[in-house]
Amino acid sequence: MFNTFLGEKLSSVQLLSVLVAFTVMYKGLIVIDHFMELKYAHKYLRLLMRLYVFIFPSLIIVIAFL
């Protein structure tokens, strides 16, 4: 709902893309730690999932500024 509100109120595409990317990162970390229960998993598996969560939102930010 927060991202929808931002989409309606903000006119800057770059700022909106950065804010959405950060919320995607935060939500991804929550899903990894709590719902997938990788908080206590092997560190390499958890690292791979965290890299996934950081790489794809970072690509959203890069594409927004191109």
Computed over every residue of the chain, the mean pLDDT equals: 86
Mean pLDDT, residues 24-35 taken together: 89
Task: Give the pLDDT confidence score for residue 26 in this predicted structure.
Answer: 92
What are the DSSP calls for 16-62, one per residue? Answer: HHHHHHHHHHHHHHHIIIIIS--TTS-HHHHHHHHHHHHHHHHHHHH
Mean pLDDT, residues 30-50 taken together: 87
Residue 6 pLDDT more than 80?
A: no
Angstrom distance (rounded) from CA 24 to CA 5: 15
What's 3's DSSP letter? H
pTM: 0.72
Angstrom distance (rounded) from CA 20 to CA 13: 10
Domain ranges of the chain: 7-65
